[in-house]
Structure 1
Amino acid sequence: MNHFKTFLLGIATAFGIYYITKKRDDGSSLLDDILENPSDVANKAKDIVIDQAVESIKCKLT
């Protein structure tokens, strides 16, 4: 079972690396965006997490 979990983790890692390094039509990748402006990417991620947390709390309260 541990070999199967390791296999799945390896596949997920490979697809994750492929996704962030995949070039878009303009020739840049998600990794390029992160490396060029890391603070902007971090702020966007924080905003998304905060929005999801607020929605989750709203759902639990109703």
Structure 2
Amino acid sequence: SIGVPVIGTLGVVLRAKRQGLVGSAGKIILDLRQSGLYFDDHFVRTVLKQVVGEDWKP
């Protein structure tokens, strides 16, 4: 291990939202889905609400 934390794609998006680097985490997730990435709707809805207070509107 080289000591680099692994947070995943959603983790990066949520961290950017919490740090004020993006306006809407949900919009970025929608863009990523349109590019071909898969995210489970229930999981996205849960983490968006709990972590950044956004509602999921796919």
Larger RCO: Structure 1 or Structure 2 (Cα < 8 Å, ≥ 6 residues apart)? 2
* TM-score, normalised relative to structure 2: 0.27
More helix as a share of residues: 1
* TM-score, normalised relative to structure 1: 0.26
Which of structures 1 and 2 has the bigger CA Rg? 1
